[in-house]
Structure 1
Amino acid sequence: MAESTLGARVAELRRRRGLSQKELGAAIRRSESWVSQVERDVLPVERLSVLQRLADVLGVAVRDLRPEAAEPMAADRGDGHRPGSAVFEQLRLLLTGHPALEQLFGDEADRESAAKLPELRERVDLAWQLAHESRLVEVGSTLLELIPDLEHAARANATRRPEVLTLLSRAYQVAATAFTRQEEVDAAWVAADRALSAAEESGDALSVVAGTYRMAQAFLRLQRLEQAEQAARVSVAALAAQVEAEQPRPEVLSLYGSLQLMLAVIAATDGNRTAARAGLAAARTAADQLGEGRNDFDTEFGPTGVAVHAVAVAVELGDAGEALDTARTVDASTLSPDRQARFLVDVARAHAQRRQATEALEALLHAERLTPELVHTDHRARAVVRDLLQFAGRRPADELRELAGRAAVTP
């Protein structure tokens, strides 16, 4: 069985336990159809939490089902080839300890720093622009200077402190986002916590919600679904009264809708179709009220954002046909390069679930043209490349082999 596919292993172990496909599906909160697709190797199982539930029910270790998943975070990170690892190691060190200790001992801060508020705001905006373009190494390099400057500015002039703290919260939020995408999730957690602290001290309640959103993203990547759901759901409840007002503020609708999308993805990851559909429906209602795509708190929320998340949710639930049908109706060109590329990765995943290798490769190559760094480092994109290599056997197409080389992926 060691040389067999994941699907063959699951099928053999299921039969040994005397379980039907329907019984196995019920035990792990999946449908009979889902089990059938997994056993036929139509549907890959990428989530560690799902692999763990399968292993528990089948009475084996995760490595017995999928040997390469024995150390999933290390494998996903691909530390040996990840660009900019030195930059993010420096950024990680920056988060260690007090951010401006020397000022507590009377070292005079630059009193002109508060007067440079417009410049600081431009630098924070630039960091987020780089993040939306998946230029994460440049994000890290920018933050190495920006965060200390903001920490010092926040202590330089009490009258401008709330404004600077709001910018500092945004800077830590982009750090959390970048760390999450680099698979440095523990550092993302620390950055998100710093963002929450700065936002609360600034007195900007919506910035606190935005920081909580970034923390939920980190929990989700860690597969701590209950914590991710709790963070998102508490924030949704806090915003509910404002959303139900006669004329809710656009910023409130953007955050509320983004959190509902987060809840939909969490539910889909956990195989909860009903909750996933409910999250999408609530987000769609908020987007309809908004009436246009916005980027409040760097969330890119709007009708198109809801549509691309609907594709992601369908893929997570194993509904490849629905995902592809929805994808054909989406014009993602108005979104950032990062969001467009992630949408294309989800399209590639849907094609891979249907073993449509040519179409999956085309979607990945399109995503790579938009944001090479994302496709080369994102764990989902790399998983699709690995699946395509396995589909191809000993003679992969030149374009696939070259993409695998650029992403340092082996079968």
Structure 2
Amino acid sequence: MHDESSAGDQLRYLRRSRGLTQESLAERAGLRPGVVKKIEGGGNARIETYHALARALDVRTSRLFESGPPHRDRRGDEDNLVLMPLRQAIAPAVGAAGPLATCGTVEPDPDLAQMRRTSDALADSYHRDEYATVAEVLPPLIHSAHLAVRHFDGGADRTEALRLRGRVLQMAGRYLVQVRAYDLAQTALRHAVEDAATSGDQAGVAAAVYQQGWLLIRQGRLDEAEQVSVVTADDAEPRISRASRAALGAWGKLLVHASSAAARNNRPNEAREMLRLARTAGVALGGATAVDNGSWGRFDWRTVAYQAIENQMVAQRPTRALALAARMPPLPKGQTFGRRHLLDVAQAHAMLRQSDDALGILASLRSETPEWLRHQRLAADVFRDARRARRRALSREQRALGEFLGAQ
């Protein structure tokens, strides 16, 4: 017998991740409008009904009876069984002979090249917002990385195994911060920094520290977030005249993050100084963009400009933020770089009681990048602020947007 409540939860997750209302999914599946609402409320359905819904969602029918990634509204990870495979991989039980997960394990010799390809493919999946794939592939990949480090006891292979494990753990930390599993993210990122430092992977250190900084901000540890970013940026500071794009990008991202932490910590002078230094990295890149999807992501002059606008919002200056945003070129269609900036713009409109503009941006983001948007707490806050600022009732589409964001 199927666990109907789990099927209902999974159906709701899949529907929202595709930006569908209950009514639109039922129509796409050829079912009565109330069927989806019934199942999501814990009701029973025939297997043929589940099949029709799975077909409409373009997933296996069995997917409706599996646990999905943790829901956006879950605030902690202590009782989140969905994260159990990741928890076992990142923080396995340890006995006298070592981590339980690898004790007595008989495995073929690690294939570092295959691990590297899998890691690169998973980084691409993350940047496409394919969080279900990330959650599914990360645990066995981390397990393989642990085995590789244990297998190679020296030389270039061990160094590469450590580098790869650091990259994989950094990716796990990034994902876990996104879904707000902060304690487990901290464990992953701490080990990622250690592996990257041991293997001499400076970009890996920068990436893990950058993600750790976001985690610290979310925990309210603003002094530490600023300090760890500044210290690491000092260590990573390149010689501008001969620096590679990767070196400039890693340095610039750390400085931008230090500015973000300083702004939130009510240190505007320090925030401006960090942006001034980051702007140096952006200018040195010219019109190019530094990219490392498996590490710190993307950096160019726009990264600095977006952070300057965000800092204005932190300082509660929405008019100034919109004036700066108006100078920015429009984002290309389908471009995810800059979508966090659009949330700042939407928030500025909501603060100025320009609710139609704010809701319009949210609707556009939902259309273009729904899976990312549903994990953004700021999006729900903007929706609530825009709704309070309205004198007119919400339209049907706007009500559906609020339901999607969990902000009703």
1:130-141 pair list within 5 angstroms? 130-141=125-136
**Structure 2 counterpart of 1:216:** 213
Matched, 1:161 2:158: yes
1:204 paired residue among 201, 205, 216: 201
- Asked if the contact 2:93–2:100 (Cα under 8 Å) also holds between the matched residues in 1, the reply is no
| SS of residue in 1 equivalent to 2:374 | helix
1:41 corresponding residue in structure 2? none
Name the TM-score, length of structure 1 as normaliser.
0.72
Indicate the residue corresponding to 1:365 in structure 2. 363
1:147 to 1:103, Cα distance in 2 relative to 1, 3 A: closer
Deviation, 1:98, is 5.3
| Structure 2 residues without counterparts, runs of 5 or longer | 1-70
2:60 maps to none
Moved more, 289-298 or 355-364: 289-298
Confirm or deny that 1:183 pairs with 2:180.
Answer: yes
Aligned counterpart for 1:293 among listed residues 289, 293, 305: 289
Aligned position for 1:32: none
Matches within 5 A, 1:278-289: 278-289=273-284
Indicate if the aligned counterparts of 2:291 and 2:299 stay in contact, CA closer than 8 A.
yes
CA distance in 2, matches of 1:277, 1:137: 38
- Partner residue, 2:19: none
The aligned counterpart of 2:116 is: 121
Comparing 214-223 with 267-276, greater Cα deviation is found at 267-276
CA–CA distance in 2 between the matches of 1:164 and 1:171?
11
Structure 2 CA distance for partners of 1:189 and 1:105, relative to 1, 3 Å? closer
**Secondary structure, aligned partner of 1:304:** helix
Unaligned runs of 5+ in 1: 1-75
Matches for 1:23-102 after TM superposition, within 5 Å = 78-79=73-74, 87-97=82-92, 101=99
Distance in 2 between the 1:335 and 1:92 partners?
37
Alpha-carbon contact 1:257-1:283 (below 8 Å) kept: yes
Q: Distance in 2 between matches of 1:171 and 1:331?
A: 34
CA contact (8 A) 1:293 1:304 kept: no
CA shift, 1:207, in A, is 2.2
CA distance in structure 1 between the aligned counterparts of 2:334 and 2:177, rounded to whole angstroms: 18
Q: Provide the TM-score with structure 2 as the length reference.
A: 0.73
Q: Once the 2 structures are TM-superposed, how far is the Cα of residue 309 of structure 1 from its aligned partner? A: 2.0
CA shift in 2, pair 1:90/1:409, >3 Å: farther
CA shift in 2, pair 1:332/1:233, >3 Å: farther
CA contact (8 A) 1:179 1:185 kept: yes
The DSSP-based 3-state class of the residue aligned with 2:321 is helix
Q: Alignment partner for residue 326 of structure 1, among 324, 327, 330?
A: 324
For residue 29 of structure 2, what is the aligned residue in structure 1? none
Aligned residues: 327
Identity across matched positions, percent: 26
| Distance across 2 between alignment mates of 1:244 and 1:335 | 35
Structure 1 residues 178 and 334: CA distance shift in structure 2, 3 A = farther
> C-alpha displacement at 1:332, in angstroms?
6.1
CA 1:344–1:147: 2 relative to 1, 3 Å: same
Is 1:277 matched with 2:275? no
Inter-CA distance 334–165: structure 2 relative to 1 (3 Å threshold): farther
User: What residue is the counterpart of 1:306 in the other structure?
Assistant: 304
1:208 and 1:230 map into 2 onto residues whose CA distance is 15
In structure 2, relative to structure 1, the CA distance for the partners of 1:148 and 1:246 (3 Å cut) is same
- Summarize deviations over 1:354-395 as a string: whole Å, max 9, x none: 111011111111111222122222111111112122223682
Instruction: Please list the CA deviations of residues 221-253 of structure 1 after superposition, one character each: whole Å capped at 9, or x if unmatched.
Output: 11110111121111122123xx24641233221
Asked if the contact 1:134–1:373 (Cα under 8 Å) also holds between the matched residues in 2, the reply is yes
Deviation at 1:97, TM superposition (A): 2.4
- 1:226 matched to 2:197? The reply is no
Distance in 2 of aligned mates of 1:317 and 1:335: 30
Q: Distance in 2 between matches of 1:120 and 1:238?
A: 29
Within 2, Cα distance between the matches of 1:334 and 1:395?
A: 32
The answer as to whether partners of 1:87 and 1:137 remain within 8 angstroms in 2 is no
- Indicate how the Cα distance of structure 1 residues 376 and 246 shifts in structure 2: closer, same or farther if over 3 A, else same: closer
- State how far apart, in whole Å, the 2-side matches of 1:207 and 1:381 are: 30
What is the deviation of 1:257? 0.7
CA distance in structure 1 between the aligned counterparts of 2:330 and 2:171, rounded to whole angstroms: 22
Per-residue CA distance 1:270-316 (angstroms, 9 max, x = gap): 23322222222211111111221111333301112222222222221
Secondary structure in 2 matching 1:377? coil
CA contact (8 A) 1:338 1:374 kept: no
Alpha-carbon spacing, 1:118–1:328, altered in 2? closer, same or farther (3 Å): farther
CA distance in structure 2 between the partners assigned to 1:403 and 1:103 by the alignment: 43
Aligned ranges for residues 243-282 of structure 1 at < 5 Å? 243-244=238-239, 246-282=241-277
Specify which structure has the higher proportion of helix.
1
Distance 1:385 1:254, change over 3 A: same
